[in-house]
Structure 1
Amino acid sequence: MNKNVRMKKRGTFALMLAALMLVISACGGKTDTATTSGGAQVDTVAASNNEPIQLTWWHSMSGSGEKAINQLASDFNASHPDIQVKAIYQGKYDESLNKLKASLGSDSGPDIIQVYEIGSKFMIDSGMITPVQQFIDKENFDLSKLEPNIIRYYTIDGKLNAMPFNTSNPILYYNKDAFKAAGLDPENPPKTYEEFEQAAKALSQNGKPGASMAIYGWFMEQYFANQNADYVNNGNGRSEAATESLLNSEAGVKTLTWWKKMIDDKTLANLGRSTDDTSAAFAAEQIGMTLDSTASLRGIVEKVGGKFELGTGFLPRPSDVKEGGVVVGGASLYIMNNKSEAQQQAAWEFIKYLATPEVQANWSVATGYFPITTAAYDQQVLKDNMAKYPQFQTAVDQLHASVDSTATSGAVMGVFPEARQIVEGAIEAVLNGQGTPQEALDTAAKQITEKIAQYNATVKK
Structure 2
Amino acid sequence: MRKLNKWLIAAASALALLVIGNTAVHQWAPSHTVATPGGRTVVTLWHAMNGPNGKTLEAMVARFNKSQQKYWVEPVYEGGYSLTQSKYINTLHSNVSPAMVQIDQGNGAATVGINNYTPVQKFIDKEHYDTSQIYTNVLSAYTLRGQLLSVPFNSSSAVLYYNQDLFKKYKIPNLPQSPTYSEVANAAKLLTQRAGDKLKGVTLQIYDWLPDSLVANQNGTLVNNGNGRDKVATKANVNTPEMRRVFTWVQGMIKDGSFQNYGTGSGASANQMAGFLSQKLGIFMQSSAAMGTIAKSAKFKFGVTFMPHPDNVPANGVAVGGASFWITKDKPADVQQGAWEFAKFAISAKEQAAWQAATGYIAVNKNALKEPVLKQAVAKNPGLLVPIQQLQAAKTNAATAGPFYANLNEAAQYIQVAMQQIYAGRDITAALAEAQRKTDQAIQATNAVDYELLNFDHIGQ
Rounded to whole Å, the distance in 2 between the matches of 1:126 and 1:24 is 17
Task: Go from structure 1 to structure 2 and tell me whether the alpha carbon gap of 1:190 and 1:405 turns closer, same or farther (over 3 Å shift).
Answer: closer
Runs of 5+ in structure 1 lacking a partner?
Answer: 1-8, 29-48
Q: In structure 2, what is the equivalent of residue 227 of structure 1?
A: 218
The alpha-carbon deviation at position 19 of structure 1 amounts to 4.7
Query: Is the aligned partner of 1:421 residue 2:413?
Result: yes
Task: Go from structure 1 to structure 2 and tell me whether the alpha carbon gap of 1:108 and 1:26 turns closer, same or farther (over 3 Å shift).
Answer: closer
The one-letter code matched in structure 2 to 1:289 is I
Rounded to whole Å, the distance in 2 between the matches of 1:458 and 1:341 is 32
SS of the residue aligned with 2:448? Answer: helix
The structure 2 residue matched to 1:69, chosen from 52, 57, 75, is 57
The alpha-carbon deviation at position 437 of structure 1 amounts to 1.0
The alpha-carbon deviation at position 16 of structure 1 amounts to 2.5
The structure 1 residue matched to 2:243, chosen from 233, 241, 252, is 252
The structure 2 residue matched to 1:443, chosen from 434, 439, 442, is 434
Runs of 5+ in structure 2 lacking a partner?
Answer: 20-36, 453-461
The structure 1 residue matched to 2:382, chosen from 386, 390, 410, is 390
The structure 2 residue matched to 1:381, chosen from 373, 388, 395, is 373
Task: Go from structure 1 to structure 2 and tell me whether the alpha carbon gap of 1:351 and 1:437 turns closer, same or farther (over 3 Å shift).
Answer: same
Query: Is the aligned partner of 1:206 residue 2:200?
Result: no
Q: In structure 1, what is the equivalent of residue 109 of structure 2?
A: 121
* 450-459 or 358-367: bigger deviation: 450-459
- Residue deviations 1:231-255 (CA, integer Å, cap 9, x gap): 1111111111111111101011111
SS of the residue aligned with 1:423? Answer: helix
- Residue deviations 1:31-58 (CA, integer Å, cap 9, x gap): xxxxxxxxxxxxxxxxxx9711111100
Rounded to whole Å, the distance in 2 between the matches of 1:442 and 1:23 is 28
Query: Is the aligned partner of 1:272 residue 2:260?
Result: no
Rounded to whole Å, the distance in 2 between the matches of 1:145 and 1:225 is 24
TM-score (normalised: structure 2): 0.89
Q: How does 1:57-96 map to 2 (within 5 A)?
A: 57-96=45-84
Q: In structure 1, what is the equivalent of residue 449 of structure 2?
A: 458
- Residue deviations 1:354-386 (CA, integer Å, cap 9, x gap): 111111111111111111111111111111111
Identity of aligned residues (%): 32
Query: Is the aligned partner of 1:331 residue 2:323?
Result: yes
SS of the residue aligned with 2:75? Answer: strand
Rounded to whole Å, the distance in 1 between the matches of 2:128 and 2:163 is 47
Q: In structure 1, what is the equivalent of residue 355 of structure 2?
A: 363
Query: Is the aligned partner of 1:243 residue 2:229?
Result: no
Rounded to whole Å, the distance in 2 between the matches of 1:172 and 1:265 is 20
Rounded to whole Å, the distance in 2 between the matches of 1:26 and 1:297 is 33
Is contact 1:23–1:418 with CA below 8 Å preserved after alignment?
no
TM-score (normalised: structure 1): 0.89
SS of the residue aligned with 1:358? Answer: helix
Rounded to whole Å, the distance in 2 between the matches of 1:150 and 1:381 is 22
Task: Go from structure 1 to structure 2 and tell me whether the alpha carbon gap of 1:333 and 1:225 turns closer, same or farther (over 3 Å shift).
Answer: same
Task: Go from structure 1 to structure 2 and tell me whether the alpha carbon gap of 1:372 and 1:190 turns closer, same or farther (over 3 Å shift).
Answer: closer
Is contact 2:61–2:75 with CA below 8 Å preserved after alignment?
yes
Rounded to whole Å, the distance in 2 between the matches of 1:188 and 1:26 is 46
The structure 2 residue matched to 1:138, chosen from 102, 106, 126, is 126
SS of the residue aligned with 1:443? Answer: helix
Is contact 1:60–1:114 with CA below 8 Å preserved after alignment?
yes
Is contact 2:13–2:86 with CA below 8 Å preserved after alignment?
no
Q: How does 1:260-299 map to 2 (within 5 A)?
A: 260-273=251-264, 274-299=268-293
Rounded to whole Å, the distance in 2 between the matches of 1:300 and 1:173 is 9
- Residue deviations 1:255-274 (CA, integer Å, cap 9, x gap): 11211221222211001233
The one-letter code matched in structure 2 to 1:419 is A
Give the CA RMSD over aligned residues.
2.0
Rounded to whole Å, the distance in 2 between the matches of 1:27 and 1:242 is 28
Query: Is the aligned partner of 1:215 residue 2:206?
Result: yes
Q: In structure 2, what is the equivalent of residue 402 of structure 1?
A: 394
Q: In structure 1, what is the equivalent of residue 164 of structure 2?
A: 176
The one-letter code matched in structure 2 to 1:299 is T
Rounded to whole Å, the distance in 2 between the matches of 1:409 and 1:161 is 14
- How many aligned residue pairs are there? 430
The alpha-carbon deviation at position 22 of structure 1 amounts to 7.5
Rounded to whole Å, the distance in 1 between the matches of 2:175 and 2:441 is 46
- Residue deviations 1:97-125 (CA, integer Å, cap 9, x gap): 11112212412111110011100111111
SS of the residue aligned with 1:316? Answer: coil
Rounded to whole Å, the distance in 1 between the matches of 2:14 and 2:213 is 22
Rounded to whole Å, the distance in 1 between the matches of 2:139 and 2:158 is 18
Is contact 1:107–1:339 with CA below 8 Å preserved after alignment?
no
The one-letter code matched in structure 1 to 2:220 is A
- Residue deviations 1:309-368 (CA, integer Å, cap 9, x gap): 111111111001023111101000000112111111111111111111111111111111
Q: In structure 1, what is the equivalent of residue 22 of structure 2?
A: none
Rounded to whole Å, the distance in 2 between the matches of 1:409 and 1:60 is 22
Is contact 1:232–1:242 with CA below 8 Å preserved after alignment?
yes
Task: Go from structure 1 to structure 2 and tell me whether the alpha carbon gap of 1:260 and 1:23 turns closer, same or farther (over 3 Å shift).
Answer: farther
